[in-house]
Structure 1
Amino acid sequence: MFGGGGGLNPRKMKQMMKQMGIDVTEIDAEEVIIRTEDHDLVFDDAEVTKMDARGQETYQIVGDPTEQAQGELASADADAGADAGDADDTDEGIPQDDIDIVVARTGAREDEARAALKANDGDLAAAVDQLE
């Protein structure tokens, strides 16, 4: 990152980043999914770091992803949900966890979050954009 950074003290590095206006936060992520047009990249137990540099948020993911065919993850999640007695899913098939994320991110009511997720085919980012 910085030339010859092998001997750079981590505390000194944090201090330098703070001086540059960069705030670094570790995120305790259980799973990270990157959805592409052709496949999904699934990171289990990934190390996720969020860097906020003057309002511009950047996420760094470190881990070994598994590549899954498009839709394979959704069917595996549906099977797991069926095994769990569908406790987390609403009547529209939108997971309660997704609704909670949209509510927390936007401050919208639960029914508004559910409607936005349904209108955007369950796409969290699109639902958040719609409500912000």
Structure 2
Amino acid sequence: MFGGGGMNPRKMQQMMKQMGIDVTELDAETVTITTADGEQLVFEAPEVTRMDAQGTQTYQIVGEPETTDADAPAVEGDAEAEEGIPEDDVELVASQASVSKSDAREALEAEDGDLAAAISRLG
């Protein structure tokens, strides 16, 4: 980020803190990115880092994604296919907002599947 080359990681953290930059490691299990053309990138057990600087949060995801088609037909009789909200998303929102799965699903439906907005709604 700053071209620290051989700089001591501890020194780098001290410099970032002085500049008002806070870096946090997140314990993420799965990260899913859906592109505009319907492709999904699914990162299992990624390394996720959140950087807070000047009121802006930036996330860095490190891992090898599996690529799937978000528009692929769902399995017949699958509850998430009927509702359009993946069960993994429901579980993630429920755990992050400390609410029941039904409340998480309602928030996701109200926010058209937007995870961050659903968590904010419940928070």
Same fold (TM over 0.5): yes
2:107 to 108, 111, 116: 116
The structure with the largest alpha-carbon Rg is 1
Structure 1 SS opposite 2:28: coil
* Number of equivalenced pairs: 116
> In structure 1, what is the equivalent of residue 94 of structure 2?
100
Matching of residue 2 in structure 1 with residue 20 in structure 2: no
Structure 2 counterpart of 1:28, one-letter code: D
- Residue identity over aligned pairs, in percent, reads 54
In structure 2, what is the equivalent of residue 58 of structure 1?
58
Q: 1:14 and 2:13 equivalent?
A: yes
Instruction: Name stretches of at least 5 consecutive residues in structure 1 with no aligned partner.
Output: none
Return the offset for 1:49. Answer: 0.5
- How many Å separate the matches in 2 of 1:11 and 1:22? 14
RMSD: 3.3
Given that residues 26 and 47 in structure 2 are in contact (C-alpha distance below 8 angstroms), is that contact kept between their aligned partners in structure 1?
Answer: yes
State TM-score, norm by structure 2: 0.69
- For 1:43, the aligned partner's letter is F
Change (3 A) 1:122 1:101: farther
SS in 1 for 2:5: helix
If each structure's helix is expressed as a fraction of its own residues, which one has the higher value?
1
